[in-house]
Amino acid sequence: MATIKDVAARAGVALGTASRVLSGSSQTSADSRARVLAAAAELGYIANGPARSLRRARTDVLGLLVSDIRNPFFSELAHAAEQEARRHGYTVLLANANEDAEQADAYLKTFAAQRIDGLLFSPQGTVSPQVAATLASGLPVVFLNRTIEGVDAPLYGTDNAQGVQQVLAWLQRRGHRDVAFIGGPDGISTGAERRAAYLAGRRAHGISTDDRLLDAGDFLAGGAAEAMCRILDRGVTFTAVFGANGQTTLGAVRALRQRLGAEQAARIEVVSFDDLDWFEFASPPISAVRNDASSIGRLGVRGLVDLLAGREAPGQRVPTTFADRSVQGTA
C-alpha cells in the first residue's frame, strides 16, 4: 500500500509538501498541489488512519454503543447516527451490548483502546466500574434514548411522558377501564419513565388502579411474554394491554394468543410504545406511539459534534406521534 512518501517521490516534492497538500492544512503552490494530487490518484493513495490518528491524537471515530441492535428502534437509530456522523467527517464504530452489562463493559474497553473521539451511549442503567471509568476519563459522551441517573451528560431521547399521555388519551377514548400494563426494567430510564407516567396518569383517564394489572419484563419478547402470563394467572380481567416497548408488545401478543387462542385474544385491544411494521396487520390492528429513532440518532450525533467543537449540547426530548389504528365502529 502506497505511503505518503511514495506520493511525494512520485510528485517530485518533499514529504512535508505532500502532507500539506493532502491534509489541506496550509497553503501550497498550485503547481505542487496539482502534482501531488495526480501522484496520489495514480497510486491510489489512501492515508494510513492509524498513523494519522497517532500523530494527531484524534481518530475521527465516534463510538456508538446500543443495547440491542436487533431491536428495530436501535437499528434505525444506528443507521441515522451513522449517516449524520459521516456528514460531519466522522466514522462510527458500532457496538452492541445485547442488553448485557458485561458486554457493554467489554466494548467500552475496546472503544478506549481505539481512542474514539466521543461516545454515543444507550446504557443499561447500571454504573459499572468501566462505565464510571469512561465517564471519568473526560471523553465527550452523549446519551441516546436512555440515561443514567445523576450522570452529567446530555440526553437525546424520546419524550416518554408525552408518548404515555397519548396512549392514556387513546385508552380513554376507546373506553378502556381495565388495562394490563407491561413495563420494562425499572433500572432502565425509559422503563422507569414510562411506568411512572402511566401510574401518574391512569386515574385521571378513568383507568383502573388495580396493581394486579401491572407487571414488567426485560424489554425483550421473552420476558414480556412471561409478564403477560403472570398477569393472566392473577385472574383479573382486562380489555386492553399496553406494552412499554416494541419487543414487549410482541411478547405480550404472543402470550395472549398462546394462552387464550387467537379468537379470544382478538377481543383484547393492544397499544404499544414503539411502532412496528406489522402492527397494521394484527387483529385487531395495534395502535402505537411512534418513537422517532432517526431523529434521536441524528440529534445525538449533532450534540456530540457540538461537544467536540467545544460548544454546548443541551440534550433534547424528541416529540412522539401516535398512530391510531383502532377500527371504526368498535369499542
CB 25 to DNA: min, Å = 4
Residue pair 224/230 in contact (Cβ under 8 Å)? The answer is: no
- Cα–Cα distance for residue pair 188/94, rounded to 1 Å: 21
Q: Output the smallest distance, CB 92 to a copy of itself, in A.
A: 8
CB of 288 to a copy of itself, least distance (A): 13
Cα dihedral sign, 130-144-125-154: positive
Q: What are phi and psi of 312, to 5 degrees?
A: -75, 150
CA 126/CA 118 separation, integer angstroms: 20
Q: Which of 91, 316 has the CB closer to DNA?
A: 91
Task: Tell the residue number behind the cell numbers 490518528, with chain if given.
Answer: 53
CA atoms of 148 and 287, how far apart (whole Å): 29
Question: Contact residues for a copy of itself (CB under 8 A)?
Answer: 1, 44, 46-51, 53-54, 59, 69-70, 72, 75-76, 78-79, 82-83, 86, 91, 93-96, 98, 106, 109-110, 112-115, 133, 137, 221, 250, 253-254, 257, 276-278, 280-283
Per the DSSP assignment, residues forming a β-bridge with 96 are 66
Residue 76 interaction partner, one of DNA, a copy of itself, none, beta carbon < 5-8 Å per kind: a copy of itself
CB of 18 to DNA, least distance (A): 7
Q: Which three cell numbers stand for residue 225?
A: 411474554
Q: Would you say 28 or 122 has its CB closer to DNA?
A: 28
Rounded to whole angstroms, the Cα distance separating 70 from 87 reads: 25
- Which grid coordinates are listed for 132? 464510571
In the bound state with a copy of itself, the residue whose beta carbon lies nearer, of 154 and 251, is 251
Chain residues in the site for DNA (CB under 7 A) = 3-5, 13-17, 19-20, 22-23, 25-29, 31-32, 45, 47-48, 51-52, 54-57
Residue 206 touches which of a copy of itself, DNA, none (Cβ within 5-8 Å per kind): none
* Other CB atoms within 10 A of residue 208 CB: 16
In the complex, what is the shortest distance from the CB of residue 135 to DNA, in angstroms, rounded to a whole number? 21
Q: State which residue, 192 or 255, has the beta carbon closest to a copy of itself.
A: 255
Contact 77, 293 (CB under 8 A): yes
Binding site partner of 75, from DNA, a copy of itself, none, Cβ cut-off 5-8 A by kind: a copy of itself
The nearer residue to DNA, 21 or 142, going by C-beta atoms, is 21
